[in-house]
């Protein structure tokens, strides 16, 4: 785990935060708010004091020299994941993808530095990572469309399934799968004749209300 290492004397920041109680209705995934501020500690207090339960917690925060330029650039890369909740702007994006977008910006802006990385500050304990087992019934609604795509191609590179809440199974081509990992690994075995112990939560995607396919590995 890489953590926040040192403070940087740059007041302008871009932040990504989540709130346990602000979630996507279809998947129950936590939504992400990305914005700019000159005082992150004050800003997160302001967000947490709005008319919503719970507090916002940091995922990633970076110091930048021009927060307007940085916010515009990062928001453009986030456009695919845009959504709204209670009339406000959010993003529904897997944490790994969000981290990649922040890191890509930092490669472009050499002056930017990490302020908070992966929800951890200097001399603080982790607040984001959890080893709690993920169960489909806690995150998927009945009828949610899911797909598995194999980068290596194979005889059948795309599988499409539907989540059946009464069985707590993914149903695809008349077969039932107990988890995203089971679904993904059986797909690899059938199409590529390969069988690895892969984490399907990292590879399987769901279809949101806007018709976009997004990885389900947004759950923490």
Specify if 196 maps to a domain: yes
Give residue 23's pLDDT: 86
Tens of pLDDT, residue by residue over 66-77, are: 999 999 999 998
3-state secondary structure of 78: coil
Of the residues 116, 146, 172, which one is the last residue of a structural domain? 116
Specify if 122 maps to a domain: no
Distance CA 103, CA 215 (A): 19
Give residue 195's pLDDT: 56
Number of domains in the chain: 2
* 158, 195: one domain: yes
Give residue 125's pLDDT: 40
Specify if 121 maps to a domain: no
Specify if 123 maps to a domain: no
* 55, 103: one domain: yes
Give residue 198's pLDDT: 67
Distance CA 104, CA 91 (A): 18
Give residue 3's pLDDT: 41
Distance CA 150, CA 217 (A): 16
Give residue 170's pLDDT: 96
- Provide the residue count of the chain: 220
Low-confidence stretches of the chain (pLDDT < 70) are 1-10, 120-133, 194-198, 218-220
Q: Which structural domain, as residue segments, surrounds residue 149? A: 136-215
DSSP characters for 116-163?
EBTTB-TT---SS---PPP-GGGT--TT-EEEEE-TT--SS-EEEEEE
Residues sharing a CB contact under 8 Å with residue 66, sequence separation 6 or more, in sequence order: 12
């Amino acid at each position: 785990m890489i953590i926040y290492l040192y403070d940087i004397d740059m007041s302008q920041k871009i932040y990504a935060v989540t709130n346990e109680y602000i979630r996507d209705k279809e998947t129950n995934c936590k939504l992400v708010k990305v914005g700019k501020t000159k005082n992150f500690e004050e800003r997160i207090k302001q967000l947490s004091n709005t008319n919503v339960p719970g507090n916002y917690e940091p995922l990633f925060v970076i110091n930048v020299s021009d927060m307007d330029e940085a916010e515009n650039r990062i928001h453009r890369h986030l456009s695919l994941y845009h959504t709204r909740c209670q009339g406000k702007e959010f993003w529904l994006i897997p944490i790994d993808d969000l981290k990649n977008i922040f890191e890509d910006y930092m490669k472009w802006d050499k002056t930017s530095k990490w302020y908070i990385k992966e929800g951890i500050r200097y001399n603080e304990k982790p607040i984001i990572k959890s080893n709690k087992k993920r169960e489909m019934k806690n995150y998927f609604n009945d009828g949610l469309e899911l797909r598995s795509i194999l980068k290596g191609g194979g005889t059948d590179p795309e599988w499409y399934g539907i989540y059946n809440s009464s069985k707590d199974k993914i149903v695809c081509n008349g077969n039932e799968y107990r988890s995203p990992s089971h679904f993904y690994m059986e797909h690899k075995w059938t199409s590529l004749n390969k069988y690895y112990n892969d984490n399907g939560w990292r590879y399987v995607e769901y279809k949101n209300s806007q018709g976009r396919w997004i990885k389900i590995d947004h759950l923490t």
